Each structure stands twice: as structure tokens, then as C-alpha cells.
């Protein structure tokens, strides 16, 4: 009897052990899900796409969901911040430690944040950097290089072309857009003779973005190739020559747009105040949305002795993250991939991905063609930390030259002294 109950006890014990093991097995089955949730990585992405803009809608409604579907375990939290506020927030965050994992940066910010040690050197961190970089436009890619290393990848690019009013030029006896600087200045005089209350050309500011194309195309520059001095460049004969011609055009009432109270340039071009202007693809969108009846024309920027050289604009993607670098790199690579670039390209962001530029959907955007051609010779502003301050000196100097009859070389010499001082500080 005792032996019988012993056997029963052993059987019950075995059943209990199996049940316990099964219970542990079920408990273990829930752990992977829990561990998976704990391993979920969230990337913060600060950008300056306007809220509810087509770009922001495509980012949040198309691109991020696609990236997350292709990269299980990585979530992206986009944060929209206005351009100037984003710059300040990154500056403050760099001091306080509150920074995003990835950010969309104006190309002129990269040297500043690189010098502060906030951006990751991508070509040193990631073994496939060169493979990715080879598939991108060389000009935009150069904007992310500081010294010997790359601290970002280009996200989108832009430049400016010459917009011209075919009717105004035709009425002035000009049957095509001016192809050279000489033809341009001759056209200004003819337009003024026909349209006394209008201007041949509108320029909204006198900063580097506006003035450098004229200087570069005329064979001048603002800094030496190694960015160590402005002497012999900003005050060179080539620079003096083109600035003299531009000031004479302004003094003759042939050029306007940069003074407070002047007719806004893009609106003024559509309204007949300015026969010509140099602007980017955003002007096309503005014409189409606000001035549907205006028949605008586009042409290459007028050639000088050095060719037709416009300024390169755009944004780069930079990685700030210290502990999520691999995940951040995956997101950056996705954003510069053909698929993502095509999606953004369809709504007005000129791609930097070479395959995307050849994509039929991008080629179908008819107004891209002049900009893509101009990009072949576009040039980036100096990739140095002190550029914002140098740009301020340039703008102030040009304002003084245009608004007064001061000696141009003397004004440029004074600017050289200030700029060289800034270069020494940095």
C-alpha cells in the first residue's frame, strides 16, 4: 500500500514539475516581446520644413513610415523648428547637452557645429560612407566636408537661374535673355529707356548669396582658396570691376530691390517692376500659386570671364548622436536614397542622389531642367565657421558702396582688414 502511494506521489510530483516548467515556458515566451519593446530605439530628428508644408507632410506621412517599416525596432520622432530657431536651439543644445540624434542643417552651419565637436565625422565612423557618397552630387557633398573629413551628407540642393520677362525685354528691343554680363548691362540700359518707372533687374539683398555669383563669374573671389585671407581676392581688380558696374546700374535706376520699402523682387518680377531677377525653384512655386497668369522665362545666369557661376544652396544631414550612431546612420542613408529623394523631388526638393536625378518622375518636373544645368557650375560659400560674420561684413560693405559715392577699392580694402581679423580669431 505504501509502495502504491509512493508511486502516486512520484507521479503527482512529475506532473507538478511539468506544469511548472510549462508555466515558466509561457512566462519566457512573453519575455522576448518585452525585451523587444525595451530594445526599441527612438531617433529624434530636428528639421526646418514648414509645418503642414508638402515637404513636412511627405516626411511624416510617407518617408518616416517607410523607413520604420524597413527598420523594425527603430522609430523616428520628427520635430519641426523654424530655420532661425533651429540654429539657435542647436547652439544652445550644444552647450546644455540637449541635442537631436539627426538634424537637417543649412549648409553654412556645418563648419560651426563641427568646430564645436558636435557632429560625427561620418567617413571615420561608417565603413560604407564612400559607397554612399559616390552616389551623390559632388558639389552638394562638398558642403559637408570640413578639413579632411565629412560631417554630414547632402539632403537637397538648389541654386539660382536668371528669370526674365519676355514681353518687357521684347518691348525694349531684346529678343532673348542676356547670355553674358556685357549683354546683361546693355539690356539694363535699354529696359530703363523703355520703362522709366521699372528696373531692369531686382536683387533682394547684398549678402554673399546675392553678390558672390557676380564676383565669381567675373573671375573674382572673396577669400583665398585655403580660406586664410581676403587680401588680393575681395579687393582684386576682377571684384572691383564687377562691383563698379553693379553700382553704376543702381545709380542709374536700373537695379533695385534690396532697400527697405523697395518692391519685393519676386512679386515685382511678376508685376512688371523688375524685368529680370536671379532666384531659385521656390520662385516657380510662388508664380504658380500666386501669379498663375504670369508667363515667366528662365535662362542661365549671365556669363562673365570665368563662366556662369551661381551660388550653391541646400541642406545637409548631420548626426549629433553619441549612443545611437548606427541607427542614425541608417536613417541618414535612407533619406539620401533614390526612393526618398524621388518622393521629396516630386514636391520641389531638388535631389542630390544621382540615380534619383535620372528617375523618370524627377525628369517629368519640367522646371527643374534649368536649375540642374546651373548646378553643374554652382559654387558653395566658404565652409568656415566665421562665414556668417564674414557675410555680415560683405553685406555692410556692399550697402556702403551702393548707397554712397565712396571709393570702391578703399571700401573693399577696409572689408579685407575686418575679414582677415575674423579669420585670425577663428
Q: Is 177 exposed, middle or buried (0-12, 13-18, 19+ CB in 10 A)?
A: buried
Shared-domain flag, residues 166 and 263? yes
pLDDT at 248: 98
pTM for the complete prediction?
0.77
Q: Total structural domains in the chain? A: 2
Shared-domain flag, residues 223 and 183? yes
Shared-domain flag, residues 170 and 302? yes
Is pLDDT at 60 greater than 80 in this prediction?
A: yes
Q: Which domain holds residue 415?
A: 161-311+386-425
Note whether residue 416 is domain-resident: yes
For 205-223, what is the mean pLDDT?
Answer: 97
Note whether residue 319 is domain-resident: yes
State the pairing for strand pair 313-319/102-106: antiparallel
Tell me the pLDDT band of 10, cut-offs 50, 70 and 90.
very low
Note whether residue 107 is domain-resident: yes
Shared-domain flag, residues 188 and 262? yes
Average pLDDT, rounded, for the chain: 90
Shared-domain flag, residues 270 and 355? no
Is pLDDT at 274 greater than 50 in this prediction?
A: yes
Selection from 300, 289, 286 nearest residue 372 by Cα? 300
Using an 8 Å Cβ cutoff, are 185 and 245 in contact? yes
How far, in Å, CA of 28 to CA of 17, rounded?
16
For 335-360, what is the mean pLDDT?
Answer: 94
For 22-45, what is the mean pLDDT?
Answer: 58
Shared-domain flag, residues 360 and 236? no
- Least trusted range by pLDDT, from 3-7, 128-132, 356-360: 3-7
* pLDDT, tens digit (0-9, with 9 covering 90-100), for 317-334: 999 999 999 999 999 999
Is pLDDT at 1 greater than 70 in this prediction?
A: no
pLDDT at 88: 92
Note whether residue 55 is domain-resident: yes
Shared-domain flag, residues 60 and 149? yes
Note whether residue 82 is domain-resident: yes
pLDDT at 426: 62
Note whether residue 47 is domain-resident: yes
Shared-domain flag, residues 166 and 155? no
SS3 311: strand
* pLDDT, tens digit (0-9, with 9 covering 90-100), for 160-185: 999 999 999 999 999 999 999 999 99
- Residue percentage of the chain with pLDDT more than 90: 77
pLDDT at 83: 86
For 14-34, what is the mean pLDDT?
Answer: 43
Tell me the pLDDT band of 13, cut-offs 50, 70 and 90.
very low
Note whether residue 381 is domain-resident: no
Q: CB under 8 Å to 100, separation ≥6 — which residues?
A: 44, 45, 46, 79, 93, 320, 321
Which CATH number goes with the domain that contains 166? 3.40.190.10
For 11-40, what is the mean pLDDT?
Answer: 46
pLDDT at 53: 82
Note whether residue 289 is domain-resident: yes
Shared-domain flag, residues 212 and 357? no
Shared-domain flag, residues 89 and 205? no
SS3 209: helix
Is pLDDT at 20 greater than 70 in this prediction?
A: no
Shared-domain flag, residues 296 and 243? yes
Shared-domain flag, residues 155 and 232? no
pLDDT at 22: 45
Is pLDDT at 2 greater than 50 in this prediction?
A: no
Amino acid at each position: 500500500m505504501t509502495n502504491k502511494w509512493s508511486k502516486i506521489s512520484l507521479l503527482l510530483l512529475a506532473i507538478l514539475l511539468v506544469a511548472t516548467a510549462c508555466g515558466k515556458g509561457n512566462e519566457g515566451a512573453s519575455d522576448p516581446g518585452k525585451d523587444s519593446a525595451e530594445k526599441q530605439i527612438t531617433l529624434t530628428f530636428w528639421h526646418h520644413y514648414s509645418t503642414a508644408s508638402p515637404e513636412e507632410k511627405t516626411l511624416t506621412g510617407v518617408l518616416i513610415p517607410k523607413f520604420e517599416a524597413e527598420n523594425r525596432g527603430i522609430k523616428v520622432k520628427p520635430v519641426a523648428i523654424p530655420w532661425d530657431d533651429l540654429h539657435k536651439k542647436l547652439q544652445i543644445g550644444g552647450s546644455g547637452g540637449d541635442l537631436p540624434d539627426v538634424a537637417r542643417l543649412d549648409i553654412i552651419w556645418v563648419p560651426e557645429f563641427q568646430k564645436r565637436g558636435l557632429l560625427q565625422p561620418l567617413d571615420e565612423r561608417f565603413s560604407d560612407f564612400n559607397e554612399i557618397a559616390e552616389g551623390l552630387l559632388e558639389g552638394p557633398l562638398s558642403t559637408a566636408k570640413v578639413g579632411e573629413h565629412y560631417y554630414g551628407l547632402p539632403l537637397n540642393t538648389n541654386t539660382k537661374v536668371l528669370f526674365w520677362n519676355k514681353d518687357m525685354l521684347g518691348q525694349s528691343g531684346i529678343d532673348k535673355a542676356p547670355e553674358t554680363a556685357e549683354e546683361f548691362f546693355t539690356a539694363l540700359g535699354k529696359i530703363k529707356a523703355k520703362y522709366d518707372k521699372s528696373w531692369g533687374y531686382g536683387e533682394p539683398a547684398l549678402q554673399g548669396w546675392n553678390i558672390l555669383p557676380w564676383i565669381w563669374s567675373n573671375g573674382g573671389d572673396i577669400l583665398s582658396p585655403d580660406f586664410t585671407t581676403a587680401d588680393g581676392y575681395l579687393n582684386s581688380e576682377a571684384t572691383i570691376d564687377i562691383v563698379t558696374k553693379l553700382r553704376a546700374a543702381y545709380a542709374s535706376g536700373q537695379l533695385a530691390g534690396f532697400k527697405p520699402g523697395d518692391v519685393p523682387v519676386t512679386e515685382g518680377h511678376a508685376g512688371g517692376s523688375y524685368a529680370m531677377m536671379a532666384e531659385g525653384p521656390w520662385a516657380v512655386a510662388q508664380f504658380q500659386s500666386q501669379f498663375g497668369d504670369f508667363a515667366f522665362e528662365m535662362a542661365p545666369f549671365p556669363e562673365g570671364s570665368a563662366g556662369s557661376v551661381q551660388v550653391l544652396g541646400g541642406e545637409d544631414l548631420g548626426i549629433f548622436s553619441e549612443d545611437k550612431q548606427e541607427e542614425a546612420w541608417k536613417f541618414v542613408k535612407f533619406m539620401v536614397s533614390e526612393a526618398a529623394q524621388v518622393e521629396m523631388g516630386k514636391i520641389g526638393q531638388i535631389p542630390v542622389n544621382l540615380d534619383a536625378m535620372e528617375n523618370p518622375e524627377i525628369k517629368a518636373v519640367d522646371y527643374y531642367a534649368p536649375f540642374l544645368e546651373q548646378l553643374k557650375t554652382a559654387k558653395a560659400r566658404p565652409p568656415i565657421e566665421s562665414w556668417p560674420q564674414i557675410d555680415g561684413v560683405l553685406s555692410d560693405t556692399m550697402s556702403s558702396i551702393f548707397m554712397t559715392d565712396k571709393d570702391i577699392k578703399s571700401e573693399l580694402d577696409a572689408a579685407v582688414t575686418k575679414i582677415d581679423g575674423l579669420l585670425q580669431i577663428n
